[in-house]
Amino acid sequence: MQLVAISEERPGNRWLARFEALWPGYRAWMGDAAFDPPLATRRAALARHMPELVALHDHLCGLLGDDPAAHAFLTGWAPPPVITGCSVAISPEEEPVMIRNYDFTSDFYEGTLHHGRWSGGPSVIASSEALIGALDGMNDAGLAAALTYGGRPVHGEGFGNPWLVRYVLETCATVKEALAALTRIPSVMATNIVVLDRGGAHAVAMLAPDREPVVLDRPVVTNHQVAPEHPAGDAQSETVLRCDVLTRLREARGTTRADLLAAFLRPPVLRSDYAGVMGTFYTAVYRPAAGAVDYVWPDRPAWAQSFARFEEGAREIPG
C-alpha cells in the first residue's frame, strides 16, 4: 500500500494514470448501477446541486474518453452503498487544528493525495476518493473538511459523501459557507462531515437520506450521529469507545495537541483490521490557518505537505 502525492493545477496525465489504475475496481463496484439511473439524470443532478463542479466533470470525462459508465460514476449521484470508519477531533489548543484517522479496508483504498486548483477557485490538497471526491482535505482559503461514516446502513437518493467534501473544498472558505452547502445537498447515505476554518469555527453536519440535516459544534466525531443507533455495527467499529476516549482526553485539563495526536496513533482509535472491519491508513493533522497538513503513522516518518511546499512522490503505508 502506498500514499501517492500528485500536483496538477488541473487534472491531466497524472490524474489519468491514477484513473486507469483504479477504474477497474470502481467499475466492478458500480456494477449494473452504473446505468440506473441513466447518465442524463446524474448530470442533471450535478448541475442542479453542484453547478460549480460541472466544468470539472466535463474536463475529466474529456480526459478519459467515451466511457458512459465512468462519466456516470464521476457525477457522484446514486453510487452504491459503502461503509467506512474514521475518527475526527478538533484540538483544544489555540491554533485551529483538525486531527483525523482514515479507516477502511485494504481492497478499496485509493491512496492518492491531489494538489491543484481544479475548479478555478481555491487551491486544494485532498486525500482522493472515487477519483474526483475527497475523504478529507483543506483549501488555501482556510477551510478543512473530513468525512466519517454516520453509523446507520441507510441508502437513498443523493451524492456520495466524497463529492460533498470535494464540493465544499472547491467552493467554500468558512464553516458558515460549508454548512449552508452541506445542509442543502442530498446525501446518499448517513455521513458526518466535520469542517474547521482558519478562524477556529468548527461544526459537524450529520446528514442522511431519510432525515433532515443536524448541525452540531461537537469537537469529536466518530461513526454515529446524535446518538448510537445501529448496535451491531456500533459494537464492531467501537464508535462509542473511540468517541469517549477522545472526548475525555480533549476535555481533560492541560491536554495538548500532541496528547490528542498520540491517542489517534494507538488503539482503540488506531485500527488494525485492514482485511476485515477497518484499519487506519493515515492520521492527518490539518492546520488550515497555516495551509499545512502532516500525514502521520505510528511506525514511520510523518509526511509534511503544504500549499507553500507540496512534495510529489509516494510513501509506504500500512495495509
Strand partners, 127: 113, 136
Quick: pLDDT tens for 60-105: 999 999 999 999 999 999 999 888 899 999 999 889 999 999 999 8
Helices 161-171 and 175-182, interaxial angle, to 10°? 140
- pLDDT above 90 for 18: yes
Looking at residue 170, what is its pLDDT? Answer: 98
Looking at residue 82, what is its pLDDT? Answer: 84
Per DSSP, 197 falls in state E
Quick: pLDDT tens for 229-246: 999 999 999 999 999 999
DSSP alpha helix (H) spans, 33-146: 39-49, 54-64, 68-75
Q: What is the grid cell recorded at 310?
A: 507540496
Quick: pLDDT tens for 20-47: 999 999 999 999 889 999 999 999 999 9
Looking at residue 318, what is its pLDDT? Answer: 81
Indicate the burial class of 125 (C-beta count within 10 angstroms; 0-12, 13-18, 19 or more).
Answer: buried
Per DSSP, 57 falls in state H
Quick: pLDDT tens for 187-208: 999 999 999 999 999 999 999 9
- Counting residues of the chain whose pLDDT is more than 90, the rounded percentage is 91
Quick: pLDDT tens for 266-305: 999 999 998 877 999 999 999 999 999 999 999 999 999 9
In which region does residue 238 sit, left (phi positive, over 0), alpha (psi from -120 to 50) or beta (all else)? left
* Cα angle 48-70-276, degrees, rounded to a multiple of 5: 105
Looking at residue 276, what is its pLDDT? Answer: 79
Alpha-carbon gap, residue 100 to 102, rounded angstroms: 6
Cβ distance 207 to 190 under 8 Å?
yes
Domains of the chain: 87-316 (3.60.60.10)
